[in-house]
Amino acid sequence: MIRRLVAVGFVAALAAACSYTETRTAVARPVPVDDSCASYGYVPGTTGYSVCVEREAAARRRGRMASDYAYANIVRDSQDACVSYGLTPGTGAFDRCVQREVDYRRPA
């Protein structure tokens, strides 16, 4: 009887030694659904990215333009906004930015 008890104890100890448990803690950062600044080429966590996000948020708070606001003015304002984000006119990122800004500013 003692042999069986020792054998069962040995098998249980062996099984416990073979099992492996790992606990990891992952921190998920919220990712904006429409991360315009990243699409313009800014790297999240950099100063340029932070400035872009801040200025773009301010532009969103101002909202859309009135329906009688001329399209040429919307384009000019959009270009000015993209320059203020630090983008260089004539680049693909600048063109994408202007298009997004125009879409955001167009009267609803």
pLDDT tens-digit series, residues 76-99:
989 998 999 899 999 999 999 999
Q: What is the pLDDT of residues 17-74, one digit of tens each?
A: 666 666 666 554 544 446 778 888 888 999 988 888 888 787 777 766 666 778 888 8
pTM for this entry: 0.51
Cα–Cα distance between 81 and 39 in angstroms, integer?
Answer: 15
Q: How far is CA 25 from CA 22, 28, 35, 70, in A?
A: 10, 10, 26, 53
